[in-house]
Amino acid sequence: MPLKTPLIALLLMSIANTVSAAEILTPAKQAYITDFESGKVLFSKNAEAQMKPASMAKIMTVFIVFQRIAEGSLRLDDKFFVSEKAWRKGGSRSFVEVESKVSVSDLLHGVIVQSGNDAAIVLAEGIAGTEDAFAEEMNFWAKKLGMTNTNFRNATGWPDPELTTTAKDLNILTTELLGRFPVDTYPDLYPIFAKKEFTYNQIKQPNRNPLVYGTEGADGLKTGHTDESGYGLVGSAQRDGQRVVMVLNGMDSMKQRSSESRRLIDLMFREFKSYKFFDKDQPVDRANVWLGKAPTVDLVLDAPLKMVLSRKDRQAMEISLQWLDPVPAPIMKGDQIGTLVVSLPDTVIKYPLRAAQNVEELGVFNRIGAAVKYLVFGAAESSKVAQ
């Protein structure tokens, strides 16, 4: 039985003329950019170096509020009391009034759009009683989500010697928020991040995230700045069904943050594409069957074959199929018949090819006839899948 190793034609074959990969450089001190669906790392720079999150820490504050809403223990129209501590907090503000009661919806808008420290503290105290207790809940979730290099100290990202995180950890948090609270299920939550302005107490403030002003597909998330951290941004954009999650920090100015975040988002979508090669249960090829009631059996994968690839990797990619042909009957649906091999410049990935149907063994007399026919004429050529 020969080992079949056909290369799949057309779309899946490697292309002789390769294209050099784009050289990605950034003035950001820390950066971590991923494809949302696959988790593939598109770019990384000092991603696990300790850094200060500044107001990007508010993403965890928002995450906890979203989680309470999803659980049903909190509603958008619930109201929280504004303490003097919250009212007096400096930095960016939503201008909530002391001893007033403010709806969770308005407070979320205040945190997300206006980056209000006062609104964040009101939410923290309303949920956990004190901001310190809320910080404990923030760290509980950080540990649960796998943010192993993060320690929160407050709901705002206000400077604290023990406050620390990494670009990778903020990416983990953002990816979880996007996946846990999809827009079709929670239409009143994540879309707040894309709002360009919010007015509270007759004071209108713009969204500080530069991506929401004209960057294609951008819909979040949060900026941050302190003298210690520099200028940072957690952003996300979606184009043609592909979403990119980006964390940048340590830039020198608002202008640099704006231009660099836009440039890198556009570059990621130019250089990395999501390719879908086969659906689940779509025949990849067909194997000849030895002494079976059917002459061939379809070969399928366990799951859709989708990959996010750089231009360079896509140009150099090869996909081949391997199996011993013909395959002896009986064959049960789900039996591994062979292997699909994806060869990339830096790695080789293998996927099992399984039988899509049962193929029963021929009766004794038919087996004799089929064996004689095979010895005289050989096996029929396996067909290629048109792409």
Point out the catalytic residue in the list 55, 94, 236, 310.
55
Q: Tokens for 199?
A: 């007015």
CA distances for 88 relative to 80, 94, 122, angstroms: 16, 11, 11
Catalytic residue among 4, 29, 52, 58: 58
Residue 254: which H helix or E strand, with range? Answer: helix 254-271
259 labelled catalytic: no
Query: What are the backbone angles phi and psi of residue 221, rounded to the nearest 5°?
Result: -130, -65
DSSP-derived 3-state class of residue 374: helix
Helix, strand, coil % over all residues of the chain, rounded to 5: 30, 30, 40
CA 260 to chain centre: 21
What's the CA dihedral at 228, 230, 231, 236 to 10 degrees?
-80
Beta strands in the chain (DSSP E): 3-4, 30-35, 41-45, 79-81, 101-103, 197-200, 203-206, 218-226, 230-239, 242-251, 272-278, 285-290, 296-300, 305-310, 318-324, 327-328, 336-344, 347-355
Type of residue found at 33: I
Please say if 55 is a catalytic residue: yes
Length of the chain: 387
Phi then psi for 231, rounded to 5 degrees? -95, 125
Q: Which candidate in 83, 92, 94, 115 is catalytic?
A: 115
Phi, psi of 148 (to 5 degrees): -75, -15
Strand-pair partners of 307 = 275
What tokens appear for 45 in the block? 């720079």
Does 4 participate in catalysis according to the annotation?
Answer: no
Active site members: 55, 58, 115
